[in-house]
Amino acid sequence: MQLEDGYEYEIVGGEVAVIPPGHDAWVVGDEPFESIAWSGVRGWLGSLEPGVERVVVTLVMTDIVESTPAAKRMGDRAWGDALAHFVDGARDTIASYRGQLVSVTGDGVLARFDGAGRAIRCALALRTEAATFGLPIRAAVHTGEVEVAEADLRGVALHETARMLSQAGANEIIVSATTKALASASELRFIDLGERQLRGLPDSYRLYRLDAR
């Protein structure tokens, strides 16, 4: 074996050796070379950052459609009161569907669920609740793997959900193909929107609009 600095040495049967990156190796003789290799745990286990775990969740993300015109129409105080009441009610609604409120995003919420059907039904309930305050919202529901660090979520699934949300109009709930498949037994109905290219993401995504008639 020859290392990058030119140093050469020979490994014989029964020896244990540390082989650094950047080397050239060859077999001396006619017998086949057999070895058992150990690699660092980080090479296959992934991130070992304390408190971080990867889980599959269904995300619900909402925001208010045309919030700036709505705020101007309602006035600052009425707008603030309506938004605060909606967020307070959203906490209870999310909990009633066994979800967890992750964050409040200005004029919307982000929640996580361990069931696709319950997540979609929660999005429906949030839309109904927002309407009582005169707030037209839109929602996106998507299932994917995220990193959980304490109460924070990270991962591509969050970006995918946000880009899906931008495809929704007022009072629409957009659902990914993955979530729809997982909710197949929930008796919910969907309208196929076809393949969509989401801004900033390389792949196309098949999206559905919830048919809540």
Q: Is the pLDDT of residue 129 over 80?
A: yes
Domain edges within the chain = 52-211
CB atoms within 10 A of CB 168: 22
Do 171 and 135 touch, CB atoms closer than 8 A? no
State the Cα–Cα distance between residues 146 and 136, nearest whole angstrom. 28
In this structure, CATH architecture of domain 52-211: 2-Layer Sandwich (3.30)
Q: What is the mean pLDDT of residues 61-68?
A: 88
* Helix boundaries (H) for 166-212: 177-182
- Please tell me the predicted confidence (pLDDT) of residue 42: 46
Q: What is the mean pLDDT of residues 138-159?
A: 90
- Please tell me the predicted confidence (pLDDT) of residue 141: 97
Q: What is the mean pLDDT of residues 93-105?
A: 93
Q: What is the pLDDT of residues 105-127, one digit of tens each?
A: 778 899 999 999 999 999 999 99
pTM of this structure: 0.73
Q: What is the mean pLDDT of residues 57-68?
A: 91
State the Cα–Cα distance between residues 123 and 172, nearest whole angstrom. 10
